[in-house]
Amino acid sequence: MKLTVLILLVAISSFIFQTNQKENPLAVIAYYNGDRATIDEYPVEQLTHIIFSFVHLKGNKISFDNYDDELTVKKLVSLKEKNPQLKIQVALGGWAGCPSCSSVFSSEKGRTQFAESVKKIIDKHHLDGLDLDWEYPAIEGKEGHRFTAEDKQNFTSLIKEIRAKIGNEPELSFAAGGFSEFFEQSIEWEKVMPLIDRVNLMSYDLVNGNSVKTGHHTPLYSTPEQEVSTDFGVNYLLKSGVPAKKIVIGAAFYARVWENVSSKNNGLYQPGKFLTSYSYKDFDERLANFSFYEDPTSKATYAYSSSEGLFATFDDKSSVTLKTNYAIDKKLGGIMFWELTGDKTKDGLLSTIYAAKTNNNTK
C-alpha cells in the first residue's frame, strides 16, 4: 500500500513539473559547485537543469578531479527519479580550469580523443550533456593560459566533433563572455549555433577583479557610463543570428566589493581597488553597514558603506525578477546563475526566479 502511494505521489509530482514546463518552457539553470550532501538543502524542483562545475582535462580527455566529484554527479543524476524532466550536465573548465584547452583543441587528435571521452562520461553516468566553459578561445583569459587566434576556428571544429560523437540527443552548451571582445573574436556564431542547444551568457563579472573603477557587475541594461550589460549581450547575439530560444542570460548569486571608494555618486563609477566577493546567503551579515540603491537606468542594485569606503555590486530579488521577466518577454531560452551554493536555502534568489516564472504563467 505504501509503495503504491509513493509511486502515485512521484507520478503526480512529475505531471505537475512537466505541466509547468509546457506552460512556460523557460529553462532555469544552476551551476553547482557543491557536494553530494549540500544539494538536498536546495529547492531543486524549481530547476530545469543542474550543471556540475567543474570537470577538467587530463591529457586530452575529460576527467573528474576526484572520486567525491564523481559521487556528487551520481547524486545529481539520482534527483531525476523525482523530477524526470531535470537535466544534469557537467561543465568543463571554469576561469582557472582550462589552461591546456587551447593546446589540446588545436589538433584533430586532441579534439577526437576529447569528444570520445565526452561520449563515455555521458553514457557511464547517464548525463544529459556537456557545457563548455573555456575562458576564452582566441582572447586572453586567466593570466598565463595559452590562447591563439586559431582558437576561434578550433572551437568550431571541437563543437562539430563533439556533436558527431555524442549524437543529437545529449545537450551541448557553452558559457560565453558578456563583452564585445569575446563576441567578436572568440566564436564563429553562424557555424557553431546550429550544433548547440544554448549559449549561457555570462552577463556578470562585467566589472571584475581587474577593474580599477566601480560599476555594475551584472546589470540588465547599459548606461552612458557602462556599455556592457545583459541587454547589450543579448542584442549582440540576436544581431549575429543566434536564435532567441538558444540564449540564456546569467544572474550572479554573489556581490563584488571594492575598497577605497569615495562617496561621490554613492560609490558608483568611482576609482577603487577590488577587494573580495560575498555570497548572497551572507549579504545580511556582510552588507549590514551598507546603504542600498537601485540604478533606474541599468535596473541594477548596488550598495555603499560610507564608514568603510566600500562599494558592492550584485543581483538581489528585485534584479533577478526583472531579469527573469526580461528573458520571458524576449522569448529567450532561459536564465542561469553562478552558483547554487551561494543562495539561501529558503526564500532565496532561485525561489525568486521560480516565482517570477510561475507568476508569468498565470497572466
Rounded Cα–Cα distance for residues 167 and 119 (Å): 9
- Of 14-23, 43-52, 102-111, 127-136, which range is least confident? 14-23
Q: pLDDT tens across 5-42, in order?
A: 444 444 444 444 444 444 558 999 999 999 999 999 99
- Give the confidence band of 360 by pLDDT, cuts at 50, 70, 90: confident
pLDDT of residue 185 exceeding 60, the answer is yes
Rounded Cα–Cα distance for residues 311 and 79 (Å): 39
Global confidence as pTM: 0.93
Beta strands in the chain (DSSP E): 27-32, 49-58, 61-63, 87-93, 129-133, 171-177, 198-202, 247-252, 254-259, 273-279, 291-294, 301-305, 310-314, 334-338
As a whole number, the mean pLDDT across the chain is: 94
- Give the confidence band of 363 by pLDDT, cuts at 50, 70, 90: low
Mean local confidence (pLDDT), 289-316? 98
Nearest-10 Cα torsion for 89, 137, 243, 123: -20
Note whether 293 and 304 are within 8 A (CB): yes
Please give the grid coordinates belonging to residue 260: 577605497
Note whether 48 and 28 are within 8 A (CB): yes
Q: Are strands 27-32 and 334-338 parallel, antiparallel or unpaired?
A: parallel
User: What per-residue confidence (pLDDT) applies to 23?
Assistant: 52
- Give the confidence band of 59 by pLDDT, cuts at 50, 70, 90: very high
User: What per-residue confidence (pLDDT) applies to 12?
Assistant: 45
pLDDT of residue 88 exceeding 90, the answer is yes
- What percentage of the chain has pLDDT greater than the value 70? 93
pLDDT of residue 323 exceeding 60, the answer is yes
Mean local confidence (pLDDT), 49-74? 98
The values of phi and psi at residue 125, to 5°, are -105, 5
| Torsion sign (Cα): 25, 26, 31, 32 | negative
User: What per-residue confidence (pLDDT) applies to 190?
Assistant: 98
- Residue 302: helix, strand or coil by DSSP? strand
- Of 13-27, 215-229, 291-305, 320-334, which range is least confident? 13-27
Q: pLDDT tens across 220-275, in order?
A: 999 999 999 999 999 999 999 999 999 999 999 999 999 999 999 999 999 999 99
- Spatial neighbors of 288 by CB under 8 A, at least 6 apart, are none
Q: Nearest-CA neighbor of 154 among 137, 142, 171? A: 137
